[in-house]
């Protein structure tokens, strides 16, 4: 079945590679644009246990950087339209660093969209809260810019250097093929500061190596895109060509051309996954100095028409563009993390209660060393990888590969983004059982939401009818 692999990409010799794609050193941060930065900032700190470690406040914009292990979010406050002035300079009056336009066409950019002082990104004026910029470190931004421009990529910000006392950082923003998603490419090998020039570091009295035992989130495990129907091949092809991404199989039942398809019992979903070339050889920033960071996977989710309206369609509608639907946070202990976050007010989507009582599930959970009650309490799902190599088949149940996952409810006012917790015990893909149950848990939440939203409308209609 898995033959004639279309997306398989073998790494050619170094010289050829140089002309083909830009290789990414590491994921630097993921950037959000929201209408109320303080609300999300509070949630990230008090509920999701991230640390606010850097901030940039100008009279026009607010940017906060949060970290949990190697997972870094930058929250940008989306300015209201009334605050957008034409032809304003890039630098806000409170900026204390220098910026060097490396290209003449920066003039155009200054006068255009990005007149709001949104460093390392641009203010997208997207109508709803959105997570839309996945920022990567690269070795050479200028060279990356040339390679990608030759490949036909559109740049939203040309190479630009920003500097403070800790040294220079050069960046450029390239538009992706997926809706409003873009990628800031960052070169910071000569920068010695904690984050990026322009941000004030917020000192905290804790060792960077210190680990939060109750909530051991270490990195971004995967980023899932919601894409329109029949666009998966195009998206895969773009990432393969531009950044040298490689396809990997989510599940052993996956078809090469079709991806991993679930098209039954109300679930219509096509999933395809890819990851970037592992070449984390560039200088690695704190707090992971000297350590190998795991790479983040990318998942493309496409809805299939037969099974009715679903969560991918809902995302596309409410987000008003294809884009990042959710991000999986890797944790070393999902039970403890979910428990700590739930106590702090995080709401999780639970699967139907029958999930935990279905034949064999209880035993499967217990064999994996968990308590069904504990998992059920927060809606955590467990999948056992049944396709094992012959050696581990003969080994004890302890050597089986497991995957544990739970989805949060949307974290913005509209259904345009949620988080996921994921713990991998040997499993590298996404289990079919979990995907079905995750899908159902989100569907159930959405159905409830729809009913809740319709009720007041229904009752006001009744009132109106009674009055007319
Ligand atoms: O299993 C995962 O974590 C995925 O990321 C797959 C997925 C993608 C989209 C959905 O709406 C539901 C599940
Ligand atoms: Fe996921």
**Above 60 in pLDDT, residue 433?**
yes
What pLDDT sits at residue 456? 46
Is-contact 147 24, C-beta < 8 A? no
ipTM tops the 0.95 cut: yes
CA-to-CA distance for 83 and 119, rounded, in angstroms? 17
What pLDDT sits at residue 388? 55
What pLDDT sits at residue 443? 80
**Ligand 2 mean position to 359 CA, how many Å?**
25
What pLDDT sits at residue 302? 96
Q: Tell me which ligand sits closest to the C-alpha of residue 438.
A: 1
Which range, 234-243, 245-254, 392-401, has the best average confidence (pLDDT)?
A: 234-243
Q: What is the mean pLDDT of the chain?
A: 81
Residue range 235-253: average pLDDT? Answer: 92
**Ligand 1 mean position to 384 CA, how many Å?**
17
CATH superfamily of 17-201: 2,3-Dihydroxybiphenyl 1,2-Dioxygenase, domain 1 (3.10.180.10)
Residue range 411-433: average pLDDT? Answer: 92
Ligand 1 pocket test: which of 262, 263, 269, 319 has the largest number of ligand atoms within 8 Å of its C-beta? 269
CA dihedral over 106, 107, 110, 112, signed as positive or negative:
negative
What pLDDT sits at residue 437? 86
The atom of ligand 1 lying closest to the CA of 430 is 1
Q: How many other C-beta atoms are found inside a 10 Å radius of the C-beta of residue 22?
A: 25
**Above 70 in pLDDT, residue 463?**
no
**Nearest-10 Cα torsion for 99, 40, 319, 124:** -10
**Ligand 1 mean position to 95 CA, how many Å?**
41
Residue range 386-408: average pLDDT? Answer: 70
Is-contact 183 242, C-beta < 8 A? no
Closest Cα to atom 1, ligand 1: which residue? 435
Ligand 1 pocket test: which of 331, 418, 439, 443 has the largest number of ligand atoms within 8 Å of its C-beta? 439
**Above 60 in pLDDT, residue 340?**
yes
Closest Cα to atom 10, ligand 1: which residue? 439
What pLDDT sits at residue 399? 65
What pLDDT sits at residue 137? 96
Residue range 269-287: average pLDDT? Answer: 65
Ligand 1 pocket test: which of 251, 268, 274, 299 has the largest number of ligand atoms within 8 Å of its C-beta? 299
Domain assignments of the chain as residue spans, ordered by start: 17-201, 217-452
The set of protein residues with a Cβ atom below 6 angstroms from ligand 1 is 224, 271, 299, 301, 311-312, 328, 405, 420, 430, 435, 438-439, 442
Q: Could you tell me which residues come within 8 angstroms of residue 238 by beta carbon, excluding any fewer than 6 positions away?
A: 176, 177
Residue range 315-328: average pLDDT? Answer: 97
Tell me the CA distances in angstroms from 70 to 41, 129, 233, 292, 367, one per residue in order: 18, 24, 30, 11, 31
The predicted-structure confidence for 38-63, as pLDDT tens digits, reads as follows 999 999 999 999 999 999 998 888 99
Query: Residue 204 is encoded by which pair of tokens?
Result: 């905290």
Q: How confident is the model at residue 457 (pLDDT cuts 50, 70, 90)?
A: very low
The predicted-structure confidence for 60-118, as pLDDT tens digits, reads as follows 889 999 999 999 999 999 776 544 433 232 222 233 445 544 433 444 444 444 444 78
Lowest mean per-residue pLDDT among 14-23, 247-256, 345-354? 14-23
The predicted-structure confidence for 345-359, as pLDDT tens digits, reads as follows 999 998 888 889 888
The predicted-structure confidence for 137-166, as pLDDT tens digits, reads as follows 999 999 999 999 999 999 999 999 999 999
The fraction of the chain above a pLDDT of 90, given in percent, is 58
What pLDDT sits at residue 42? 97
Pairing of strands 51-57, 26-34: unpaired
What pLDDT sits at residue 8? 34
What is the CATH code for 217-452? 3.10.180.10
What pLDDT sits at residue 251? 82
Which among 131, 134, 224, 183 is positioned nearest to 420, based on CA atoms?
A: 224
**Above 90 in pLDDT, residue 124?**
no
The atom of ligand 1 lying closest to the CA of 435 is 1
């Amino acid at each position: 079945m898995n033959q004639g692999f279309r997306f398989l990409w073998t790494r050619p010799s170094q010289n050829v590679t140089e002309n083909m794609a830009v290789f990414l050193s590491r994921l630097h941060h993921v950037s959000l644009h929201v209408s109320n930065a303080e609300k999300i900032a509070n949630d990230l700190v008090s509920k999701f246990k991230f640390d606010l470690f850097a901030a940039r406040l100008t009279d026009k914009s607010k940017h906060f950087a949060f970290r949990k292990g190697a997972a870094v979010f930058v929250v940008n406050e989306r300015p209201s339209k009334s605050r957008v002035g034409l032809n304003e300079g890039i630098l806000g009056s409170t900026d204390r660093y220098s910026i060097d336009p490396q290209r003449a066409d920066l003039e155009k950019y200054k006068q255009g969209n990005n007149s709001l002082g949104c460093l390392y990104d641009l203010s997208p004026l997207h109508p709803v809260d959105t997570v839309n910029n996945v920022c990567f470190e690269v070795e050479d931004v200028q060279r990356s810019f040339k390679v990608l421009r030759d490949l036909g990529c559109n740049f939203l910000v040309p190479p630009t250097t920003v500097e403070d006392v800790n040294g220079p950082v050069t960046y450029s923003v390239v538009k992706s093929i997926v809706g409003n998603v873009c990628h800031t490419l960052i070169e910071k090998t000569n920068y010695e500061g904690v984050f990026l020039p322009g941000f004030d570091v917020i000192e905290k009295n804790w060792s960077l190596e210190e680990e939060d035992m109750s909530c051991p989130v270490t990195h971004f495990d995967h980023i899932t895109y919601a894409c329109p129907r029949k666009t998966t091949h195009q998206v895969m092809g773009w990432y393969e060509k531009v950044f040298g991404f490689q396809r990997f199989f989510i599940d052993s039942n996956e078809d090469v051309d079709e991806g991993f398809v679930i098209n039954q019992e109300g679930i219509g979903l096509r999933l395809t996954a890819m990851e970037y070339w592992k070449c984390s050889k560039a200088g690695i920033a704190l707090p992971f100095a000297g350590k190998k960071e795991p790479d983040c996977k990318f998942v493309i989710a496409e809805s299939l028409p037969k099974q009715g309206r679903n969560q991918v369609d809902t995302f596309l509608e409410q987000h008003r563009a294809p884009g990042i639907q959710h991000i999986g946070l890797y944790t070393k202990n999902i039970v403890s993390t979910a428990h700590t976050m739930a106590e702090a007010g995080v709401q999780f989507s639970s699967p139907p209660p029958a999930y935990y009582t279905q034949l064999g599930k209880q035993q499967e959970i217990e064999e994996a060393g968990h308590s069904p009650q504990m998992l059920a309490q927060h809606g955590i799902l467990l999948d056992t990888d049944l396709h094992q190599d012959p050696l581990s088949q003969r080994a004890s149940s302890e050597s089986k590969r497991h995957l544990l996952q739970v989805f949060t409810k949307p974290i913005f006012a509209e259904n345009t983004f949620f988080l996921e917790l994921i713990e991998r015990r040997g499993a590298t893909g996404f289990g079919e059982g979990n995907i079905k149950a995750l899908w159902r848990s989100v569907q159930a939440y959405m159905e409830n939401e729809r009913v809740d939203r319709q009720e007041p409308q229904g009752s006001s209609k009744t009132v109106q009818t009674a009055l007319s």
